[in-house]
Chain A
Amino acid sequence: MNILEAPENKEAVIVEIKKSDNPFLRKIEAMGLKRGEKIKVLSKVGRNIVVQVEGRKLAIDKELAKEIEIE
């Protein structure tokens, strides 16, 4: 499933970033949302989704979130 479908406050692991030719997704990877990373969805506010990764808290839009597969 992708991050958008993840339940809030449950840990999950990123397995794949789709469409990595999108420069925005590459930026997000550099920010910390990349394969193998443990994440937790903190909240969904409107178009945004707030995600906790080790040491960082990120807000990304849902369109981007759809491209991030977790498990």
Chain B
Amino acid sequence: MKEITVALIGNPNVGKTTLLNYIAGTELKVGNWPGVTVEKKEATIEYKGYKVHIVDLPGVYTLEPLSDAELVATKFLEEEDIDVILDVIDTQNFEKNFYLTTQLLEFEKPTVVVLNIYDEAERKGIKVDIPFLEEILNVKVIKAVARKGIGLDRVLDLIIETYEKKITPRIKYEQKIEDAIKELEKTLGTKLTKHEAINILLGKKKTNNEEEVKKLREELEKFFGESLEEIIKDERFGFAHGVTKEVLKKEKEQKYDITEILDTFLLHPYIGLGLYLVIMFLIFKIAFDFSAPFMDWLDGFLTGFVSPFIVVLLNSVGASEIIVNFFTEAVIGGVGFVVTFVPLIATLFFLINFLEMSGYLPRIAVLMDRFMEKLGLHGSMVIPLMLGFGCNVPAIMATRVIEDRRDKFIVTMMIPFMTCPARLIVFAFFASVFFDNPVIVIMGLYTLGIVVGLITAYFLKRTTFKGKITHFAMELPPYRLPTLKAILSVVWIHTKGFLYRAGTIIFAISIIVWGLLNLPPGIKDQSESFAAKIGKTIVPIFEPLGIEDWRASASLIPAFLAREIALSSLGTMYYAEMEKEIEMEEFKPVNELKNQGLSLLTAVKDAFLSVFSFKIAAFDVAEDEFVTLRNVIKQHFTPLSALSYMILLLIYTSCVATVAVMIQEIGKKYALLFLAYSFVAAWILAFTVYNVGKLFV
């Protein structure tokens, strides 16, 4: 099978990844801000007897990289064996995008140009004469709306056609330059692409005849009266301008623009800041209020239906007590417990993704700059921090767009303090069990994380990482209303990931914890088990923080794999205790199922209604009559020790994936140092809060 390597390249935020996701069925991250893609990602499609490898690259404005992400793209272009260039252009920005296109054409490789975001261009009255464009450049051009998949059915055919027929672009500069290139080819005795020739003339690439190169260069500089860099730049801009004038028509001026109207408020120095706070509050409110009824329902469904059902079922087939215990404790108590939080995770991802797709993130960057300045950082670095609320791992990857290594370093060390959904579910559980006003507690924890991040940055900037602020330049894309389908599919990807983790790693850990809880064989009481031994060994470390129960300290060990495992492990351990306290009531599966169905309907109604009330109502629910896990856990923590436990999990980077990505991005030494730092900081904070708190209660 013939293989074709395609470089997918263009300016940032023009829809490259959207395009690839559509034609290759990949699920790569898309978002409405420049700099979403930070690594190269390959998708392979088998089509008409070809194996087409399409490599999605970070967006660039020039081939002169300033950040790690940009370097990935330019390096790939320069060094890899590319068969076809797939250049994506934001049509409403044709001329600006074409500056990069011009430089791509210089490679003289078969090229397919996609005029994307054609829908928005058309709304602005922009029309491109595609046949004429194809003719002048000798490339294949298509117009597309990648977001809706419109116009993309021909992409693969065109890639194959340009490749097979070796259709290479035609690009002509000022005669004097063309002559110099011919001359150069003659001296070197080889055919050069325009890209190579220009690089040689600019001195970026060395030859064995530098004398002659220098002479040619000087001749050109004398003729044009500027440096060769300037000459080449002007030529490229000139070419882009010339082509645009030939093929692009703008028929009407748009009267008003939704982006303009929104930015009048959202980018306003004061109003904008107020609105930012309102938006953040709303996200919080909706995430909780919408998901709470569903979580309550799931919780009830699990304890009121699934668990007794399994017990009845297992008993009826005569399963031994140990098997029954395994299912109720490890499966329901561990995995099931964590799964009840899916509604919260899904709702939060829905809202975060909406934010990412809307185009608001770059505005936050501009607004927050004032505060970031105090830390010696730039506003744009708020974007990776905001992404941290979704998941720390991609957020750390996103620091690759930061040009300055020092700043990248500092931002990387702030991100782990941003509360991710895995931590949120631990908080949601503990806060609702122990506090009358759980939302305040959770918001407080979010804030505490941010503050610790800021202090860390401040400290680093004042000591090790002194230096002046680098520059900042960012495109503010138009606001875009994401389609429900697109958002739901991203929500599904995350939810699926969460469920997958629940079914694999969390399940495995639950089994191990359960095993340790029941070993060595023949123990009468859990407190004689291995789990208890391990837990008790480390209790001294956590006792000063008020975490005295061996189950709580033991749960912190597996929590290092992923923070929600703290919860599943606690669930497994306390569930075991719970069963011995309650007698199974009489259980009628059919009736119970009907009840559960009805309460689900109520949950749906509650979820939608609660979004429209002003206050955050989540967790206001009265305690149910069941003896649930909540009640059991309540006996082993005080509100203060629960707070201390949460602070520990918030600040300590107990997530192996985050540590791994830190090692990859900033090196092992610093990543491990940071880990130690985060543990010490977590301990000190928890200690302080616990002991100061004790004075008041």
Question: Which of A's residues lie within 8 Å of B, judged by CB?
Answer: 20, 23-24, 26-32, 34, 42-43, 45-48, 50, 53-61, 63-64
Contact = CB atoms under 8 A, between A and B. Distances in A.
Contact of B96 (A31, A42, A45, A63): A31
B471 A61 contact: yes
27 contacts: A20-B230, A24-B470, A24-B473, A26-B64, A26-B233, A27-B473, A30-B99, A31-B61, A31-B475, A42-B267, A45-B369, A45-B370, A46-B269, A46-B370, A46-B379, A47-B379, A48-B366, A48-B472, A50-B263, A53-B96, A54-B95, A56-B475, A59-B362, A59-B472, A60-B471, A61-B472, A64-B472
Contact of A45 (B61, B64, B99, B367): B367
A61 B370 CA distance: 12
Interface of B: 61-62, 64, 66, 92-96, 99-100, 229-230, 233, 237, 259, 263, 267-269, 272, 362, 365-367, 369-370, 373, 378-379, 470-478
Contact of B373 (A47, A58, A64): A47
Interface hub of A20, A27, A43, A60 (most chain B Cβ within 10 A): A27
A54 B254 CA distance: 12
A50 B96 contact: no
Contacts of B61: 27, 30-31
Contact of B473 (A47, A54, A64): A64
A36 B407 CA distance: 34
A58 B267 contact: no
Given A24-B66, A58-B475, A61-B472, 16 more contacts: A20-B229, A27-B64, A28-B473, A30-B61, A30-B100, A32-B93, A45-B366, A45-B367, A47-B379, A53-B96, A54-B96, A55-B93, A56-B96, A57-B476, A58-B473, A59-B474
A32 B476 CA distance: 13
Contacts of A56: 93, 96, 475
A58 B269 contact: no
B100 A58 contact: no
A40 B313 CA distance: 73
Nearest to B468: A63
A60 B464 CA distance: 27
B62 A43 contact: no
Contacts of B66: 23-24, 27
Contact of A50 (B229, B237, B366): B366
Majority DSSP secondary structure for residues of A touching B: mixed
Nearest to B237: A34
A48 B379 contact: yes
Contact of B263 (A42, A53, A54, A60): A42
Contacts of B378: 61
Contacts of A24: 66, 470-471, 473
A57 B233 contact: no
The 9 closest A-B pairs by CB, nearest first: A46-B370, A30-B61, A61-B472, A55-B93, A24-B471, A57-B476, A30-B62, A32-B96, A60-B473
B268 A48 contact: no
A48 B477 CA distance: 16
A10 B92 CA distance: 22
Contacts of B473: 24, 27-28, 31, 58-61, 64
A42 B268 CA distance: 10
Contacts of A26: 62, 64, 233
B464 to A, nearest CB: 24
Contacts of A42: 263, 267
A28 to B, nearest CB: 5
Contacts of B474: 58-60
Contact of B267 (A27, A30, A34, A45): A45
A51 B147 CA distance: 27
Nearest to B259: A57
A64 B474 CA distance: 12
Nearest to B121: A55
A27 B62 contact: yes
Contacts of B365: 59
A46 B95 contact: no
A63 B477 CA distance: 22
A25 B476 CA distance: 17
B401 to A, nearest CB: 12
Contacts of A32: 93, 96
Contacts of A34: 237
A1 B366 CA distance: 24
A60 B475 CA distance: 9
A61 to B, nearest CB: 4
A50 B379 CA distance: 13
Interface hub of B367, B370, B472 (most chain A Cβ within 10 A): B472
Contact of A60 (B92, B367, B472): B472
Nearest to B126: A55
